[in-house]
Amino acid sequence: MNIEIERKYLLRNEDWRGLAEGVYYKQAYLNERGGNTVRVRIEGNKAKLTIKGKAKNISRVEIEYDIPMVDAEALFSLAKTPCVEKYRHKIPYKGNVWEVDEFLGENKGLVVAEIELKSEEQAFEKPDWIGEEVTHDK
């Protein structure tokens, strides 16, 4: 079992652009809001099924499996909400990796960064382009 510990931030400026190539993501949620999360996702040329528990502070159980692309495509038809599309840029910075998501479609214009941590108390440095924390803002 894996525990996901992450913090999310808005971006202060565009200085992150050009630091990493973006990978196209398409994802859909297969459950109703509230409770646990069941998500199907295509990341470039890979597909995954992810189950996440309810968050406790900034931690939650996360189980993720690679699945065949054809299964992922079939699961999109079961989505309870519209698909989310974005480009994810993975940017190494001082021993950590920041994931900057640039959303498309209904969420076009939204850009957020997240960092996954090994513990809730882990110290880390933020790049200058990281702005306000929005970890608890759904």
As a whole number of angstroms, the distance between CA 88 and CA 104 comes to 11
As a whole number of angstroms, the distance between CA 70 and CA 75 comes to 9
Q: Is 87 a catalytic residue?
A: no
Local confidence pLDDT in tens for the 138 residues of the chain = 688 899 999 999 999 999 999 999 999 989 877 778 899 999 999 999 999 888 788 888 999 999 999 999 999 999 988 899 999 999 999 999 999 999 999 899 999 999 999 999 999 999 999 999 999 886
Give the distance, in angstroms, between the CA of residue 93 and the centroid of all CA atoms in the same chain. 17
SS3 for 76?
helix
Judge if pTM exceeds 0.75.
yes
- Residue of 93, 116, 91, 109 lying closest to 23 (CA atoms): 91
Catalytic option among 24, 29, 87, 93: 29
